[in-house]
Structure 1
Amino acid sequence: MTTPRDTPASRRVRANGDGTVYQRKDSRWEAAGYVLALGNTRKRVRVYGSTRTEALAKLTEKIAASNRGVPAVTAQGSLAAYLTYWLENVAVHHLRETTHTRYTAVVHQYLIPGLGRKKLAKLTAKDVRTWLNDLRTVCQCCARGTDARRDRNAQASRHPRCCALGQCCRKRLSALTLAHIHSVLKSALEHAVREEEIPRNVARNVRTGTPRPRRFNPLTTDEARRFLTAAQGHRHTALFELALRTGLRKGELLGLHWEDLGAGTATIRRTLQRTRTGGLTTLPTKTISSERRIALPVSCITSLRAHRKHQSQEKEETGSDWHDTGHVFTRPDGHLIEPATLTRQFNALLRDAHLRPIRFHDLRHSTATLLLEQGVELVVIKELLGHAHIGVTATVYAHVRLRLQRQAIDLLGHALGDRAEGDGDDPPLCAAPVR
């Protein structure tokens, strides 16, 4: 009589609904079972592994997801169906809400209209490259009918060149936007590879080129002094001074709590952002490296003490209507400050000080630039700004380092007693490319 122990592992009977597991002729193990599919249907899926345990674990994971109501996708389905599944069941659990919102906009504005009808299994690198080239060369107003949905009379008065009026405005996507769209597609297809829906990520075989970093306009030393002078007496004096002297992001400043301030230090744990579902929400820092403790300048400590005293007076005047959030920077009634409101106040301060218009984030760039010009090491600036890698700091502020190199070379030449420019009969050196 044959007992269950005598039965080979590949032929043991599993419970109904658990699927089957058996060894193939090529020595690999295959597990198959029925799971929930798109459209509230059932489909049979197959997974593979080098051992029986590995194949069974993969199948068990898919069945468990099916029991939770998460539909499985098939490579024979369209890319639009997979992107929708990826956004709703995968990306939403691994991305910050603001990042997920941007990814959703990219998927619905560019990926689905351009590649959505393609089968996931039949998508090729040529398809991706052709689509990206179209995005790069075609006017987006014409392609998406943006201007056609607007009032023609209003467009004629404000924009003489308008697609709705028959005069193409030639609005094309920037290199940074194209790189972002490409990265979203790569992320989605990479998860399809991990789920063994497709054998490879074809988007990785397409090169979009390295976009130029965004230009920023940091304040000069003289402009920084004028900015600090103009900020004196402002309700957010401590905030503006802290932004320029420490390089904190806008969200990090607005998310700062009084309990985060210690003896001459500030611990950056959270950031304040406006999200689509939660409104003004306190979130974790941008990255793990962004969670840091920084030293506060003496002037910032003095400004923060004066700010806390002023906030206590506002609390007494408001009385029971005061909304206690524990934040350092709040509105006069204690509620959180809208980031857009802070931007308007910052722009008004620049106008009153007769300073050129810059972004609020350029205060952060100003901090790093001024520190570099003072000879502060790059690793110290990296820790202060909370960059994930020192390569990010080095890349963003490469122009500053190049200027410092020129100053160092000129200083060395002066020490070696070089003659003034134009002296002697030596011909000028040819300009060599800098890499």
Structure 2
Amino acid sequence: MTNRRPNGAGTIYPRKDGRYEGAAWVKTLDGQRTRIRVYGRTWEETNQALIKAVAEHQNGPGAVTDKRTLAAYLEYWITHIAPHRVRANTLANYRQSIDMHIIPALGAKKLDKLSAKDIRSWLDRIAVQCRCCAQRIDAKRAADKQRCCALGNCCQLLPAPRRLQYYHGVLAVALAHAVREDMIARNVAKQVQVPSGPPRRYEPLTLTEAHAFLAETRRFLHGEVYELALRTGMRRGELLGLRWTDIDFETNTLTIRRTVQRIIGQGKLEMPTKTKSSDRRIPLSPPCIKVLKEHVAFQQAQRDRAGKNWTKTDYVFTSSVGTPLEPQHITQSMKTLCERAGIRRIRFHDLRHSCATLLIESGVPLITVKELLGHSNIMITANTYTHTRLPHQADALRLLDDQLDRPNPKPHRHSATGTENKPESAGAPEQEPTSSDHNS
């Protein structure tokens, strides 16, 4: 019979809706057997589809057995897998991205049915969606402080390309684990390209702005944190995690061993430094030593006022009762500090950029700046934390102009072969070179 199939090749039979259904047994990823099914309008079309499906499972990774939804898998991954691979603050950011953005949009999809088109469509949707409206940012403010979306005036706070890249990256990392454990055949997130957008331009402080900034820090609460950030290039978490035992006033050095971060849902935590290279010892300049010694007296006065309410933590920078400073408060106070100093507004992390840039402009070797900042790779220092400012570019062009505008000496004439034609002595006959000329 034309339609008879060999043993083990599966079976094809007509359906009540007029189509044909083909079914065959194949091995699963865990060594078991499962039945796959295909459909077609004719027997021959169904036969070809069944042959192809069986071949794919025999030659490829096998039949997928995990039928969980993406939401169920992501909950498993963020609870049992990710905590052993990333830092606590990274894990908290992963959890926020999954709960707020990935699961609401894609969570109902079956893990083995998720496609690159699904991910692409999701990213396209949120790229044009106002974050303020979606997350009710303005609506969560007090009624007298609402100013945009809650009043029907959409502020069009669209997510930056870097934010979209991050959401996509979290999903790609989670699916990569599913591939490694044979839950799915391939990572469909890797098939989706997310535009990176223009790189962020940093504008570190100029020397004049730095002088005005430092003058104001001496009149500002916790101004020592901001001054040390500019003078040493230390990160916010490194400064807040600093203990008095890390400072050696005899050798005038400071050792960075830990950070203090606020983790979503967990509060302020003491954590290891960002990388192994971040554990470092740096020298303290006389102004830094002066700031720290003055801070000793300030903290002692705080301790006396707090009395029994003082918490012994040994942290250098503390609240009025001895607890570590709130990282977000330090960041948010930058706006006020810049306004009081009469300079443009910058981020707290831009003090690190400013430190690196001012060092480079002062002629400090790049390798020295790299060690001071605690980078694992000198290219990070060169590409991210140093900036060539417009006045220095202008100085470079002026140097070039000086070269180009100098009187040009009379050029020598050259022969067609490129050898110089030297002027001949008057009346001197032209002579053939001798053997001694060749030897010389």
Same fold by TM (over 0.5)?
yes
The residue matched to 2:118 in structure 1 has which SS? Answer: helix
Give the Cα–Cα distance (whole angstroms) in 1 for the partners of residues 297 and 141 of structure 2. Answer: 52
Is the 2:233–2:351 Cα contact (8 Å) retained in structure 1?
Answer: yes
Deviation at 1:170, TM superposition (A): 3.7
Deviation at 1:272, TM superposition (A): 1.2
Say if 1:210 and 1:382 are closer, same or farther in 2 by CA, change over 3 A.
Answer: farther
Is the 2:353–2:386 Cα contact (8 Å) retained in structure 1?
Answer: no
The runs of 5 or more residues in structure 1 that have no matched partner are 1-27, 34-72, 421-435
From 97, 104, 107, give the equivalent of 1:116.
107
The residue matched to 1:200 in structure 2 has which SS? Answer: coil
Give the Cα–Cα distance (whole angstroms) in 1 for the partners of residues 290 and 131 of structure 2. Answer: 51
From 231, 235, 257, give the equivalent of 1:249.
235
Paired residues for 1:36-115 under 5 Å: 75-115=66-106
More displaced stretch, 311-320 vs 206-215: 311-320
Question: What residue in structure 1 maps to residue 177 of structure 2?
Answer: 191
The residue matched to 2:259 in structure 1 has which SS? Answer: strand
Give the Cα–Cα distance (whole angstroms) in 2 for the partners of residues 402 and 386 of structure 1. Answer: 27
Is the 1:179–1:211 Cα contact (8 Å) retained in structure 2?
Answer: no
From 280, 291, 296, give the equivalent of 1:303.
291
Question: What residue in structure 2 maps to residue 358 of structure 1?
Answer: 346
More displaced stretch, 172-181 vs 199-208: 199-208
Say if 1:150 and 1:251 are closer, same or farther in 2 by CA, change over 3 A.
Answer: closer
Is 1:229 the counterpart of 2:215 in the alignment? yes
Question: What residue in structure 2 maps to residue 129 of structure 1?
Answer: 120
* 1:114-167 Cα deviation digits (max 9, x unpaired): 22222222222222222222222344566x484897799979x722xx4874x6
Question: What residue in structure 1 maps to residue 269 of structure 2?
Answer: 281
Deviation at 1:181, TM superposition (A): 0.6
Larger-gyration structure (1/2): 2
Give the Cα–Cα distance (whole angstroms) in 2 for the partners of residues 325 and 117 of structure 1. Answer: 47
* 1:309-343 Cα deviation digits (max 9, x unpaired): 33234434544433211111122332222223334
Say if 1:349 and 1:198 are closer, same or farther in 2 by CA, change over 3 A.
Answer: same
Deviation at 1:269, TM superposition (A): 1.2
Give the Cα–Cα distance (whole angstroms) in 2 for the partners of residues 109 and 327 of structure 1. Answer: 35
Give the Cα–Cα distance (whole angstroms) in 2 for the partners of residues 147 and 401 of structure 1. Answer: 36
Is the 1:237–1:303 Cα contact (8 Å) retained in structure 2?
Answer: no
Give the Cα–Cα distance (whole angstroms) in 1 for the partners of residues 189 and 111 of structure 2. Answer: 12
Say if 1:152 and 1:409 are closer, same or farther in 2 by CA, change over 3 A.
Answer: closer
Say if 1:79 and 1:153 are closer, same or farther in 2 by CA, change over 3 A.
Answer: same
Question: What residue in structure 2 maps to residue 382 of structure 1?
Answer: 370
Question: What residue in structure 2 maps to residue 24 of structure 1?
Answer: none
Give the Cα–Cα distance (whole angstroms) in 2 for the partners of residues 153 and 330 of structure 1. Answer: 33
Give the Cα–Cα distance (whole angstroms) in 2 for the partners of residues 205 and 115 of structure 1. Answer: 16
Is the 2:138–2:147 Cα contact (8 Å) retained in structure 1?
Answer: no
Is 1:158 the counterpart of 2:144 in the alignment? no
Deviation at 1:224, TM superposition (A): 0.6
More displaced stretch, 133-142 vs 95-104: 133-142
The percent of aligned pairs where both chains have the same amino acid is: 44
The residue matched to 2:159 in structure 1 has which SS? Answer: coil
Give the Cα–Cα distance (whole angstroms) in 1 for the partners of residues 121 and 242 of structure 2. Answer: 46
Is the 1:372–1:401 Cα contact (8 Å) retained in structure 2?
Answer: no
Scaled by the length of structure 2, the TM-score of the pair is 0.69
Is the 1:163–1:169 Cα contact (8 Å) retained in structure 2?
Answer: no
Question: What residue in structure 2 maps to residue 396 of structure 1?
Answer: 384
The residue matched to 1:400 in structure 2 has which SS? Answer: coil
Deviation at 1:91, TM superposition (A): 1.2
Question: What residue in structure 2 maps to residue 21 of structure 1?
Answer: none
Question: What residue in structure 1 maps to residue 311 of structure 2?
Answer: 323
Q: State the AA in 2 paired with 1:385.
A: L
The runs of 5 or more residues in structure 2 that have no matched partner are 1-26, 33-63, 408-440
Deviation at 1:95, TM superposition (A): 2.2
* 1:182-221 Cα deviation digits (max 9, x unpaired): 1101110111111111222121122112233334332110
Give the Cα–Cα distance (whole angstroms) in 2 for the partners of residues 118 and 278 of structure 1. Answer: 30
Deviation at 1:243, TM superposition (A): 1.0
Say if 1:150 and 1:164 are closer, same or farther in 2 by CA, change over 3 A.
Answer: farther
Give the Cα–Cα distance (whole angstroms) in 2 for the partners of residues 148 and 243 of structure 1. Answer: 32
From 300, 315, 333, give the equivalent of 1:312.
300
Give the Cα–Cα distance (whole angstroms) in 1 for the partners of residues 65 and 374 of structure 2. Answer: 41
Question: What residue in structure 2 maps to residue 61 of structure 1?
Answer: none
Q: State the AA in 2 paired with 1:418.
A: D
Is 1:293 the counterpart of 2:284 in the alignment? no
Deviation at 1:176, TM superposition (A): 1.0
Say if 1:164 and 1:265 are closer, same or farther in 2 by CA, change over 3 A.
Answer: same
Is the 2:236–2:349 Cα contact (8 Å) retained in structure 1?
Answer: yes
The residue matched to 1:280 in structure 2 has which SS? Answer: strand
Deviation at 1:111, TM superposition (A): 1.1
